[in-house]
Structure formats: structure tokens, C-alpha cells
């Protein structure tokens, strides 16, 4: 299925969409959008461009928004989707997921990742942040799918003898894959969480991340139990503890941040860390509701993620936006919290910042990388259509996605997948899943 590097960059015209250039500003109705190679060249009023195009995509009745960034996931966990529902995080991981993960092979992870990538493309995701194992296969799948990704080997080292081999593998992955797939794949170092890695791991990873100029990706303050355990052992919160260990000396992408206080928010903000809000996973595992509006008010960059499909059910970031916004309002006790525009910003520009690509992605402007999603507004749930951004966040469906572009390359047009054979992926995953029942 692997077709080699993509070099056939094209001149593409997207005819007629309403363009949300950036959440909260810059809406161009009935536009013509020109993509030249990897970048947006022009966004002008309909009929304002002429010339030759390699491909013309019909965007009439559609909305064009910046590419959605899923800032925390475990792609291959699609293979465990629907297994062991309705359990607490500790029981879910310890009794159901970890024993099955021991049985996973490289081939499982490859096909499970392709399933996750296809699902993401179908719902408008253009970039993702992943942490897992058999990461060579994850990276190969990302390369073939054509998405953009920040990938990392998840280090689990609660005992001293695991530290050496785990760090070695994480480092090897960074060395071999950073900057590959025409620059679409970047890497990170990923100690799994404060309770699954010894202090020495954090020290060494912070040092290695500084040397390799890569970020650290981890789970942080996901459950009350984690916070209690670290408080009992270290007499401080997990965030304070990681700061003391030097972890925040590099850019940090911290998934969840459900159980954090004012001081933790100050630490995250002071170091320019990203907190990745994964509301569906937090709800399904009953972890709690993250203080998203408080983090934003405190100056923290908040991005959105789904987490793995086994804990979230699906990898649909459009659905995640609505849940995030609604939950933030309930948590804050005021409907102004996480407005529609801010929610879309969390799913786009703030995700781009998490990737370290805030100046390249996250808005639709000439010169920016051409990552974008064309969303049909023909569904009844977009009628009458006063404000397409508001309708997208509060009424949009993943199935409204019509086309997806990454680096100027179309990955999905009129609902047709251009880089992946989804029927083959479905068949392989069904077959492989029999061993995990």
C-alpha cells in the first residue's frame, strides 16, 4: 500500500466555500481559495481568480476551516474500541488494557493506526499527537496516510531495570524519525505519566529533550488517585514535582490536567506548556472535568484531543469540540465559558502551537501551510445558518466533512479517501481483533 514520498504538489482551486480564516475573525463568504504546492496562495471573493489548476474542488455550500489538531491520542487503540467498557481508569488499564497490549504485535499496531488515521481524516483531523509503542509502524502508517504528526514512544519505567532500555528505545525513535515524511513527522519524548516513571526517567528525558530540541509529551493529573499518590510520596502536586525535576525546561504537552489547582496553572502558563483537554475520555472513565476556562484565563495554551478510541469511543474532534464547550460551561457555572470561537481555536490554532507550528498552521492565510477541512453546511442542522462557526461547534457532525488537505495534498475529496484503502483496513482490523476478545 505504501506509495513512496508524495511529490506531486498541485495548484488547487477550492471554489465557493465560506472561509473561517481564524476563529473569532476573518470570515470570507463565497470565496475562491488557491493552494499552490504546500501553501495557501490566495483567499479572494468568488470569481476573483483565474488561470490553470490541476484540480478544482467544489466548495459551494461548504465551510473551509483550518485543519483540526488532535493533540493527544493513541492511534492503535482503535483495536480495543468497545472492549471493557464502564470501568475506572485503574481497573480498565490494569485488568483489561495492559494484558491485551502485551499481546500486540507490530502488525497489529500498523493496521490499528491506519484505522485511527482513516477515522481522523474522515472527521476533519489534519494533525495529531500520538504516544504508543511499535512506533516505527505508527510512523509508517502516518507517512502513508499523509497526515501531520508529533509521535513519541511511551516510556513506562516504574522500576530501575526498565529505565535504560525504555529510554534507549524512545531516543532511537526520535533519532530515526524526526523530520521525516517531507517534514510532516516530528517526534517527542514521552514518559507515560508521573506514577509510571521513576524520577531518574524525568531527569534524563528532560536533558535528552533539551539536547534533541524535541518536546515532552505526557499524561498529567488525569485522576484524583494519581494526585494523591504523588502528594503522599513527594509532598507536592504532580505538576510541582515535574517542575522540580526540570521537565518544564522544554515545551511540554500535558494530556488531561483534570485535577490541577491555581499553582499548577501558574506553572503550566509560566513555562508555555500545552494542556490537552480530552473531555470524552475524562467523562467515560469518570476522571472528572478539567478546569479549562481557568487554564485559559491563567494563560495556559489549551488544545483538544480525543485520547485513544478505547477510552473515548471515537476519534471525532468535531464532536469533542461540542462536549468540551458544554462541559466547560457547567464546570465554570457560566455559559460564557469556552465560547464557540475559543473552542474552535483550541481545536486548531492552539493545537498548532502545541505542535510548535503556531506560525505555519492554525489559520487560513496566504503563505501558511495548506492544512484545511471542507465541511458541508447542507445538513438540516446548519439551517438557517446565521453563524457558521457557532453552528459548526454546537451542531456540526463528523460526517459533514467533505474534503481534507494537508500540506496542500488532498487526502479526502467528496468523501473519497485518496491515500488509504479503507475497506482493506476495515477487513484487516476485524481479522486481527479476534485475538483480543
The H or E element that residue 334 is part of is none
Looking at the Cβ atoms of 204 and 217, the one nearer to Zn ion is: 217
- DSSP, collapsed to helix, strand or coil, labels residue 48 as coil
Looking at the Cβ atoms of 115 and 412, the one nearer to Zn ion is: 115
- Residue 403 neighbours by CB distance under 10 Å: 26
In the bound complex, what is the minimum distance in angstroms from residue 191's beta carbon to Zn ion? 13
In the bound complex, what is the minimum distance in angstroms from residue 156's beta carbon to Zn ion? 12
- Residue with the shortest CB distance to Zn ion: 307
Paired residues of 376 in beta bridges: 62
**CA 408, CA 343: separation in Å to the nearest integer?**
25
In the bound complex, what is the minimum distance in angstroms from residue 220's beta carbon to Zn ion? 10
In the bound complex, what is the minimum distance in angstroms from residue 307's beta carbon to Zn ion? 5
Looking at the Cβ atoms of 119 and 307, the one nearer to Zn ion is: 307
Residues that bind Zn ion (CB under 5 A): 307
- DSSP, collapsed to helix, strand or coil, labels residue 237 as coil
Cis (ω within 30 of 0) for the bond into 384?
Answer: yes
Looking at the Cβ atoms of 222 and 391, the one nearer to Zn ion is: 222
- Contacts by 234-239, CB closer than 8 A, 24 or more apart: 237/261, 237/263, 237/264, 238/194, 239/263, 239/264, 239/267, 239/268
Looking at the Cβ atoms of 307 and 342, the one nearer to Zn ion is: 307
Report the largest interatomic distance among the alpha carbons of the chain, rounded to a whole angstrom: 67
In the bound complex, what is the minimum distance in angstroms from residue 240's beta carbon to Zn ion? 22
| DSSP for 58-92, written as a single string | E-TTEEEEEPEEEEEE-GGGGGGTTSS-S--HHHI
Looking at the Cβ atoms of 88 and 180, the one nearer to Zn ion is: 88
Q: Give exposure, 166-195, as e/b (b: 16+ Cβ within 10 Å).
A: bbeebbebbeebbebbeebbbbbbbbbbbb
In the bound complex, what is the minimum distance in angstroms from residue 72's beta carbon to Zn ion? 6
In the bound complex, what is the minimum distance in angstroms from residue 74's beta carbon to Zn ion? 6
Looking at the Cβ atoms of 285 and 374, the one nearer to Zn ion is: 285
Paired residues of 403 in beta bridges: 374
Q: How far is CA 223 from CA 206, 259, 262, 266, 279, in A?
A: 24, 7, 17, 20, 13
Looking at the Cβ atoms of 294 and 307, the one nearer to Zn ion is: 307
Closest CA to 250 of 195, 219, 204: 204
Helical spans, DSSP H, in 124-215? 135-145, 160-177, 199-212
Looking at the Cβ atoms of 14 and 255, the one nearer to Zn ion is: 255
In the bound complex, what is the minimum distance in angstroms from residue 128's beta carbon to Zn ion? 12
CA 77 to chain centre: 14
In the bound complex, what is the minimum distance in angstroms from residue 135's beta carbon to Zn ion? 15
Amino acid at each position: 500500500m505504501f506509495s513512496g514520498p508524495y511529490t506531486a504538489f498541485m495548484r488547487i482551486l477550492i471554489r465557493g466555500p465560506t472561509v473561517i480564516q481564524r476563529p473569532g475573525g476573518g470570515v470570507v463568504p463565497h470565496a475562491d481559495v488557491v493552494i499552490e504546492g504546500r501553501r495557501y496562495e490566495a483567499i479572494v471573493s468568488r470569481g476573483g481568480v483565474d488561470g490553470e489548476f490541476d484540480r478544482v474542488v467544489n466548495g459551494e455550500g461548504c465551510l473551509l476551516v483550518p485543519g483540526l489538531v488532535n493533540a493527544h491520542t493513541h492511534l492503535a487503540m482503535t483495536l480495543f474500541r468497545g472492549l471493557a467498557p464502564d470501568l475506572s481508569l485503574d481497573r480498565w488499564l490494569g485488568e483489561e488494557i495492559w494484558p491485551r497490549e502485551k499481546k500486540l504485535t507490530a502488525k497489529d499496531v500498523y493496521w490499528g493506526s491506519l484505522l485511527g488515521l482513516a477515522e481522523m481524516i474522515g472527521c476533519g483531523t489534519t494533525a495529531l499527537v500520538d504516544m504508543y509503542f511499535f512506533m516505527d509502524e505508527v510512523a509508517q502508517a502516518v507517512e502513508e496516510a499523509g497526515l501531520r504528526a508529533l509521535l513519541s514512544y511511551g516510556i513506562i519505567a516504574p522500576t530501575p531495570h526498565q529505565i535504560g532500555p525504555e529510554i534507549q528505545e524512545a531516543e532511537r525513535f526520535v533519532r530515526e524519525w524526526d523530520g521525516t515524511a517531507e517534514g510532516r513527522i516530528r517526534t517527542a519524548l514521552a514518559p507515560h505519566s508521573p506514577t509510571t516513571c521513576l524520577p531518574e526517567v524525568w531527569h534524563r528525558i528532560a536533558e535528552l529533550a533539551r539536547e534533541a530540541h524535541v518536546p515532552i509529551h505526557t499524561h498529567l493529573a488525569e485522576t484524583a488517585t494519581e494526585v494523591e499518590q504523588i502528594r503522599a510520596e513527594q509532598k507536592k502536586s504532580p505538576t510541582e514535582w515535574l517542575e522540580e525535576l526540570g521537565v518544564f525546561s522544554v515545551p511540554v504537552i500535558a494530556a488531561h490536567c483534570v485535577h490541577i489547582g491555581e499553582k499548577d496553572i501558574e506553572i503550566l502558563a509560566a513555562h508555555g506548556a500545552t494542556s490537552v483537554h480530552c473531555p470524552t475520555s475524562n467523562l467515560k472513565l469518570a476522571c472528572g472535568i478539567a478546569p479549562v476556562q481557568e487554564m485559559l484565563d491563567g494563560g495556559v495554551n489549551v488544545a483538544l484531543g480525543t485520547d485513544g478510541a478505547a477510552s473515548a469511543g471515537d476519534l471525532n474532534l468535531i464532536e469533542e469540540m461540542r462536549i468540551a464547550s458544554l462541559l466547560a460551561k457547567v464546570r465554570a457555572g457560566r455559559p460564557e465559558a469556552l465560547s464557540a470561537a475559543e473552542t474552535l481555536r483550541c481545536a486548531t490554532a492552539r493545537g498548532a502551537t502545541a505542535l510548535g507550528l503556531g506560525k505555519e498552521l492554525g489559520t487560513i492565510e496566504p503563505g501558511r501551510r495548506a492544512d484545511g477541512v471542507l465541511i458541508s453546511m447542507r445538513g438540516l442542522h446548519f439551517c438557517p445558518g446565521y453563524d457558521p462557526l457557532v453552528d459548526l461547534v454546537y451542531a456540526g457532525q463528523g460526517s459533514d466533512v467533505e474534503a481534507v488537505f494537508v500540506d496542500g495534498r488532498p487526502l479526502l475529496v467528496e468523501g473519497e479517501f485518496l491515500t488509504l484503502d479503507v475497506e482493506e483496513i476495515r477487513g484487516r482490523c476485524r481479522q486481527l481483533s479476534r485475538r483480543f476478545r
